[in-house]
């Protein structure tokens, strides 16, 4: 049996990949497990039905799939995998005794990333699986970069669009209250003009880090969705609980005590501050994330055109009335 090269060992160590092997022959499963067990998590099963359930439960990084199996064959399972939104992107390699070109073409046309015929060479199987796992690694890196802001290392607007809807649906099903809102850094253009954009970037990172830690303690999340604008959400149990959490976010930035002398003539404070517009709501069929965020933006506008360094909070749940509470 061929051993892993140093480069392959490095790549394997970068992520603890999981390989799902599906074959009705125990000897084939043992051979495949022996090739990869020292470097990857190996999950094995002997039927397509069990394989489908394991794929849902384990979320493997790659699937090695036999074709000829009783009850349900590999082609039938492949069709089910590609139709399931959670499983459709998992790469599948057919490892089978079918050697006709038509069968290989069928497997590849169904979406398999490779097709290996039995009896197989251990080194070839190892090399092909590692090649496809490297593609998985690179794809994961691209997805990470696509969903995160490089300056603050916060998730970005695209990630917000995914996660906010997921949490909305989850909260709607559980009928649990959530707070959605927008944070804006006060007088940030003046800060950049006075101190320079490089120092402005430092300020954004500091604010992002402190608010992220604060919201994390509340079970929430924050996203950078504009230059100095951040979206957030967190679960809320009662009105006063949400108010105190929002006030804590405001206070956490005040405690950074970042000088902002460019506003000393127009503001009572000479430090960087934030303004927050927030909405508490129990998600339902009559509203949406977009509508709630529009209301949050309206609350933010109120603060930005008055005192700043404050929170404008609207609870849509209290006595089924819209109750506005300003915290400053």
* Beta sheet of 41-45, edge-to-edge order: 41-45, 18-22, 62-65, 92-96, 114-117
Per this entry, what is the length of the chain?
328
What the block records as the tokens of 147 is 């969903």
Cα Rg of the chain, angstroms: 27
| 289-314: burial string, b at 16+ Cβ within 10 Å, e else | beebbebbbebbebbbeeebbbbbbb
Furthest-apart CA atoms within the chain: distance in Å: 82
Single out the catalytic residue among 14, 105, 228, 254. 228
* Beta sheet of 274-281, edge-to-edge order: 221-224, 229-235, 178-185, 274-281, 311-315, 323-327
CB 249, CB 275: distance < 8 Å: no
| Residue in the block written with tokens 């919201």 | 215
What's the CA gap between 52 and 158, in Å, rounded? 30
What's the CA gap between 9 and 3, in Å, rounded? 10
Is residue 228 part of the annotated active site? The answer reads yes
Instruction: Using DSSP bridges, classify how beta strands 274-281 and 311-315 pair: parallel, antiparallel or unpaired.
Output: parallel
What are the residues facing 325 on neighbouring strands?
Answer: 313
Would you please indicate which residues are annotated as catalytic (active-site) residues? 228
């Amino acid at each position: 049996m061929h051993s892993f090269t140093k480069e392959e060992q490095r790549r394997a160590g970068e992520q603890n990949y999981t390989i799902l092997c599906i074959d009705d022959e125990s000897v084939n499963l043992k051979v495949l497990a022996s090739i990869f067990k020292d470097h990857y998590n190996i999950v094995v099963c002997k039927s397509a039905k069990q394989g489908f359930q394991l794929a849902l439960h384990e979320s493997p990084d790659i699937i090695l799939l036999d074709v000829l199996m009783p009850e349900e064959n590999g082609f039938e399972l492949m069709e089910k995998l590609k139709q399931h939104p959670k499983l459709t992107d998992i790469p599948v390699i057919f490892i089978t005794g079918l050697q006709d070109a038509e069968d290989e073409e069928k497997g590849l046309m169904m979406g398999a990333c490779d097709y290996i015929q039995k009896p197989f060479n251990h080194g070839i199987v190892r090399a092909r699986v590692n090649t496809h796992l490297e593609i998985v690694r690179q794809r994961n890196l691209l997805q990470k970069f696509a969903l995160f802001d490089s300056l603050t290392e916060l998730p970005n607007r695209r990630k917000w669009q995914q996660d906010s809807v997921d949490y909305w649906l989850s909260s709607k099903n559980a009928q649990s209250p959530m707070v959605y809102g927008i944070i804006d850094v006060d007088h940030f253009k003046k800060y950049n003009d006075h101190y320079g954009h490089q120092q402005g970037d430092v300020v954004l990172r500091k604010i992002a880090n402190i608010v992220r830690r604060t919201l994390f303690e509340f079970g929430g999340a924050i996203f950078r969705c504009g230059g100095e604008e951040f979206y957030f959400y967190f679960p809320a149990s009662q009105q006063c609980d949400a108010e105190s959490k929002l006030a804590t976010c405001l206070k956490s930035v005040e405690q950074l005590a970042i000088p902002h002398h460019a506003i000393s003539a127009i503001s009572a404070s000479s430090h960087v501050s934030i303004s927050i517009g927030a909405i508490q709501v129990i998600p339902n069929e009559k509203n949406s994330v977009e509508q709630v965020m529009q209301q949050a933006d309206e609350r933010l506008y109120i603060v930005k055109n008055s005192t700043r360094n404050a929170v404008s909070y609207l609870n849509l749940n209290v006595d089924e009335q819209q109750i506005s509470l300003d915290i400053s």
